[in-house]
A = this chain, B = another copy of it.
Amino acid sequence: MALARPLAGIVPPLLTPLLDRDTLDAAGLERLVEHVLGGGASGLFLLGTTGEGPSLSHRLRRELVSRACAQVDGRASVLVGVTDTAFVETVDLARHAARAGADALVIAPPYYMPQGQPELREYLGHLLSELPLPLFLYNMPPLTKVPFELETVRWALDQDGVSGLKDSSGDMAFFSRIVALARGRPDWPVLMGPEELLGPSVLAGGHGGVPGGANLFPRLYVALHRAARDGDLERTRDLQERVSRVGERLYGFGRHPSATIKGIKCAAACLGLASDFMAEPFHRFRETERHQVEAALEELGPIVEV
């Protein structure tokens, strides 16, 4: 089982627009999908961290997957995050995603009970035998506590059904080692999570990225990917600095780790893309931060033009 078409470039981790704790903002979702596809995104990653996946009811997760797949309608790859602490729930959502027409699944290690790497491999083995679609590994140790270590990635490269990896560890040395392992496997994309490392990762041989900011400014991230892929060092540095500037201006309001998601969701609302309602345990920005986001967007205007 492999990806039906190769995946490279920018795959935004799609925000989940909400009207209420358990109500999708369907119109916002539609606008957002068109916005990122229009900006050149190669795929969408639903129900990731930026998409508040683990905070949503299982019912809403399924609704989101159905709607997004229907709208994309084959114009780009749709990856669906199915990470859950309960194996049974993961498999249920995976089957729903297959029926809805998704292209691939994404799984981070179950994030409550810490597993040793052999336990994690056994877990993946059980999972692969139940999954109806190709699987991306999602390395996110700051949130899952457990990483996919090098030995496990090496094992996964030989498993039928594993089709690539998204690395959000922020560890560029680890990423480079994975890229070296996957050399000669164009069917096995290695994608960078943190957008401050998008340029360096593609220069090092990575296939693309999953940058949260691409919900807002997809053209900028697509341009950065292309410059680095084509070896245009000067343009890569320039665009990477602009991408990093987006992060410095937008992801630092509020004192908590939630600042990044809140900043992106608030900015999406300011740009008229979608509602900024957030599922618990978070709450959208109040007035003060919203005004700061508006000011930041104004300042970023010329910077994000490409």
> Shortest beta-carbon distance, A21 to chain B, in Å?
6
Enumerate chain B residues within 8 angstroms of A100, measured Cβ to Cβ.
Answer: none
Hey, which chain B residues are within 8 Å of A85, CB to CB? 54-55, 85
Q: Which residues of the other chain, B, contact A22 by a CB distance below 8 angstroms?
A: 88
A70 interface contact, C-beta 8 A? no
Q: Mark A73-89, 1 if CB is under 8 A from B, else 0.
A: 00000000000011111
In the complex formed, the residue of B with least CB distance to A110 is B281
In chain B, what residue has the closest Cβ to A201? B200
Is A58 touching B89 in the complex (CB atoms < 8 A)? yes
A234 CB to closest chain B CB, in angstroms?
A: 8
Question: In the complex, how many angstroms separate the beta carbon of A19 from the nearest chain B beta carbon?
Answer: 14
A114 and B256 in contact (CB under 8 A), knowing A119-B283, A281-B119? Answer: yes
Interface hits, A107-131 → B, CB 8 Å = 109-116, 118-120, 122-123, 126-127
| A175, chain B: closest CB distance, angstroms | 9
Taking a contact as CB atoms under 8 Å apart, the answer to whether B88 and A176 are in contact is no
- One complex includes copies of this chain to the number of 4
CB under 8 Å from chain B, chain A span 218-234:
231, 233
Asked whether A172 lies within 8 Å of B197 as measured between CB atoms, the reply is: yes
B86 engages A56 (CB within 8 Å): yes
Q: Do A256 and B115 have beta carbons less than 8 Å apart?
A: yes
Say yes or no for A258: interface residue by CB 8 A criterion.
yes
Q: Chain B residue with minimal CB distance to A115?
A: B281
- Among A236-244, A266-274, A288-296, which stretch is in contact with chain B? A236-244
CB distance from A93 to the nearest CB of B (A): 12
Cβ distance A240 to chain B, nearest Cβ, rounded Å: 7
Interfacial chain B residues near A304, Cβ < 8 Å: none
Q: Is the CB of A244 within 8 A of B200?
A: no
Contact B143 A113 (CB under 8 A): yes
A196 close to chain B: CB less than 8 A: yes
Contact B233–A203 (Cβ < 8 Å): yes
Q: How far, in Å, is A252 (CB) from chain B's closest CB?
A: 11
Interface residues of A in 5-24 (CB under 8 A from B): 21-22
A199 at the binding interface (Cβ < 8 Å): yes
Contact A86 B173, CB 8 Å, known A109-B281, A120-B281, A143-B112: no
Sample of 11 more A-B contacts, CB < 8 Å, known A22-B88, A205-B237: A21-B88, A49-B112, A54-B110, A54-B113, A57-B89, A58-B58, A116-B254, A170-B171, A172-B200, A173-B194, A231-B233
Interchain Cβ contacts under 8 Å between A and B, 17 examples: A22-B88, A49-B112, A55-B86, A58-B86, A87-B281, A113-B281, A115-B282, A116-B258, A119-B282, A122-B283, A126-B280, A176-B196, A180-B244, A200-B203, A200-B204, A231-B231, A233-B233
- Give the B-binding residues of A (Cβ under 8 A): 21-22, 49, 52, 54-60, 85-89, 109-116, 118-120, 122-123, 126-127, 143-145, 170-173, 176-177, 180, 194, 196-197, 199-200, 203-205, 231, 233, 237, 240-241, 244, 254-258, 261, 279-283
